[in-house]
Structure 1
Amino acid sequence: MHKSIEIDEKIFQDAVKFYGTVFNLPPLASKIYAYLLFDYDKVGITFDEFVEVLSASKSSVSTSISLLLSSQLIIDHNKMDERKRYFFINDEYKKIRFEKIVQKMKDELKLLDDLNNFKKVQDEGYNEKIEAYKALLDKNIINIQESLNKL
């Protein structure tokens, strides 16, 4: 079997390291994700190609693909005339990722408000810092949401 896509080894290794850290992925899952980044024409990569190109066991590749699918980083499709599944980067993931970030910031804002309401003693210096932090969160939420609307 041949590789269906061309990759640059240095960029591939940089992507493996970067996405492994950013998405907290195990090494093989990070390699699969990085490999899919080079599928510019969206031809899709088969399970067998991952096994061969990455020199990994079928069970390891299967586990990594399941992790990537469940975390919505990749998607799969079956072509009409074939039994094989083809895997692709989930183009919607960027939007999903930032929606999760916005939700975490909103959750933190609520938690800060709840803590502030619970606190018995008011400390003006502390309140000033918290208000500045909340303003930063609010500003970033608005900025990210405006950008998401453009995606």
Structure 2
Amino acid sequence: MQQSIEIDEKIFQDAVKFYGTVFNIPPLASKIYAYLNFDFDKVGITFDEFVEVFSASKSSVSTSISLLLNAQLIVDHNKMDVRKRYFFINDEYRKIRFEKIVQKMQDELRLIDDLSKFKKGKENDYDEKMEVYISLLNKSITNIQESLNKL
């Protein structure tokens, strides 16, 4: 079996390193995700192609695919009259990723508020840097949400 897509080796290696770090995923999962980024025509990549291209065991590929599916980084699809599953980048993941970032910032704001209320009971010290940080979080949340609405 030959690769069904064309890749640039340098970009591929850079993508493997980047996605492995950003998503905190193992090397093979990062390779699979990076490889799928080159599927510009959205033809989909089969399990067998991953096994062959990466010279990896079926078990390792299966584990990596499961991890990527569970993380919602990729999706799978069965084409009509074909038994094989085809894998694709989840185009919705960028939106999902930023929704998670907003949620974490909102959680942090709630925690800061709780700590601030607790601290006020102990002393009356105004923390200007914390106010700047809270403002930054609020502005970032608003900015990201406005951009997400455009997606």
TM-score normalised by structure 2 residue count:
0.98
Structure 1, unpaired ranges of 5+: none
The aligned counterpart of 2:132 is 132
Q: What count of residue pairs does the alignment treat as equivalent?
A: 149
AA aligned to 2:63 is T
Q: CA deviation at 1:123?
A: 1.5
Identity over the aligned pairs, expressed in percent?
A: 82
Q: How far apart in 2 are the matches of 1:83 and 1:114?
A: 54
Matches within 5 A, 1:61-140: 61-119=61-119, 120-124=122-126, 127-140=127-140
Q: Do residues 146 (structure 1) and 146 (structure 2) align? A: yes
Please give the per-residue CA displacement for 1:64-96, whole angstroms capped at 9, x wherever unaligned: 000000000000000110110000000000000
AA aligned to 1:136 is L
SS at match of 2:18: helix
The aligned counterpart of 1:41 is 41
Q: CA deviation at 1:10?
A: 0.4
Q: CA deviation at 1:121?
A: 1.0
AA aligned to 2:123 is V
Q: How far apart in 1 are the matches of 2:45 and 2:124?
A: 59
SS at match of 2:3: coil
Please give the per-residue CA displacement for 1:18-71, whole angstroms capped at 9, x wherever unaligned: 000000010000000000000000000000000000110000000000000000
Query: Which stretches of structure 1, 4 residues or more, deviate above 4 A after TM superposition?
Result: none
SS at match of 1:55: coil
TM-score normalised by structure 1 residue count:
0.98
AA aligned to 1:48 is D
Q: CA deviation at 1:107?
A: 0.3
Structure 2, unpaired ranges of 5+: none
AA aligned to 1:122 is N
AA aligned to 1:40 is F
Q: CA deviation at 1:148?
A: 0.5
SS at match of 1:65: helix
Q: How far apart in 2 are the matches of 1:107 and 1:132?
A: 17
